[in-house]
Chain A
Amino acid sequence: MHIAEGYLPPVHAVAWSAAAAPFIVHGVRVLTREVRRNPEAPLLLGASGAFTFVLSALKIPSVTGSCSHPTGTGLGAILFRPPVMAVLGTITLLFQALLLAHGGLTTLGANAFSMAILGPWAGYGAYRLGLRAGAPLMVAVFCGAFVADLSTYCVTTVQLALAFPDPSSGFTGALAKFGGIFAVTQIPLAISEGLLTVLVLRLLIQSSPGDLARLGVPFRGRDKAVAR
């Protein structure tokens, strides 16, 4: 769940927006270059954006007795690299802020920084690290999606703890408090997102091996056979 409208002090809201802006501008450039270079790209880009749309609309109950939703940004980060997700994730956030009163315009910068920027980068990093360590593709994909999801809400936790430190225990106390609300709730959801991302990637290997090969996803013949 994102930080609600008006729930970051103006200074924090401006600072996070300023931090997010260059990533989004860079993402738009990368996205237009990708589309221009390859006329087939918009299809799979649309599908990656759609995955984020679906997952971030599903509020799922968690072990903490509260609800949150996954982010769906790991898939696009793995396929198209993180800069593209800065754009797709921000579009999703904007949609929710304008139509659903979920998240907000004043908190858009902070929410984009967590869900559209840091989450995808952390997830992509985990995916590459997994591959380099010799993990099977699907294990690396699971790790990527899991980390993208969970790290998003760790950033949300830090953002709120910075803005609203605990009156007695300060930043650390607030970190524990908001972490209990966001990060712990998110763990089972991040597992779900990891599993769903693996599922979609299996279907992609089956239906569009050409797209995946072009994007440099290292699937082998065996993965393809298993997916069939």
Chain B
Amino acid sequence: MSRGTRINALLLAAVLLLAVLPLALGLGDDEEEPFTGSDAQAEVAIAENDPDYDAWFSPLYEPPSGEIESALFAAQAALGAGVLAYYFGLRRGRRQGEAHASSAAGGERP
């Protein structure tokens, strides 16, 4: 493994560690419902600060269940990952193509 690949792997491992540690250390155990969204917690805090406040507009479309919602979030991530992969694949392919072309052109010269 080259030095560059090793650094990349370390970066990814650090990101994974940061995400898994709160779960592994049970940092959500004091909560009534562990690891809820911060936006939902904000709604609770708003209700505490201003008990009379009612949301005056509701989403035009709401995913009917948690499963559908997570499917849509997964679709969003997949779409983004797909475009990113396309970009890197295209760039890599072009560079390889250019390298082939220049080495072929170099080989033909007398």
Contacts and interface: CB of A to CB of B under 8 A. Distances in A.
A58 B77 contact: yes
A100 B27 contact: no
A81 interface: no
Interface string A1-31: 1111111011000000000000000000000
Interface residues of B, number: 61
B99 interface: no
Interface in B53-78: 53, 55-63, 69, 72-74, 76-77
A226 B7 contact: yes
Q: Name the residue in A7, A43, A65 with the highest tally of chain B Cβ atoms < 10 Å from its Cβ.
A: A65
Interface residues of A, number: 72
A131 to B, nearest CB: 20
A98 B42 contact: no
B8 interface: yes
Interface of B: 2-4, 7-8, 11-12, 14-15, 18-19, 21-23, 27-31, 34-43, 45-46, 49-50, 53, 55-63, 69, 72-74, 76-77, 79-84, 87-88, 90-92, 95
B77 A181 contact: no
A45 B23 CA distance: 35
Give 3 nearest A-B pairs by CB, closest first. A53-B80, A6-B55, A50-B83
B83 to A, nearest CB: 4
Interface stretch (A115-123, A201-209, A213-221): A201-209
Contact of B12 (A66, A199, A227, A228): A199
Given A167-B49, A196-B15, A226-B3, A2 B57 contact: no
A78 interface: no
Contacts of B43: 4, 7
A66 B80 contact: no
Nearest to A53: B80
B46 A50 contact: no
Given A57-B80, A66-B37, A181-B41, A160 B56 contact: no
13 contacts: A10-B56, A54-B76, A57-B73, A58-B77, A61-B19, A62-B27, A65-B28, A66-B36, A102-B39, A167-B49, A191-B18, A200-B84, A203-B8
A177 interface: yes
A122 to B, nearest CB: 19
A207 to B, nearest CB: 4
Contact of A54 (B11, B84, B92): B84
Contacts of A160: 42, 45-46
Contacts of A106: 56-57
Given A59-B73, A104-B57, A228-B2, 20 more contacts: A1-B37, A1-B38, A1-B39, A43-B90, A50-B81, A57-B73, A57-B74, A60-B19, A61-B22, A65-B35, A96-B76, A100-B63, A100-B76, A101-B61, A106-B56, A167-B50, A178-B45, A181-B41, A181-B42, A226-B7
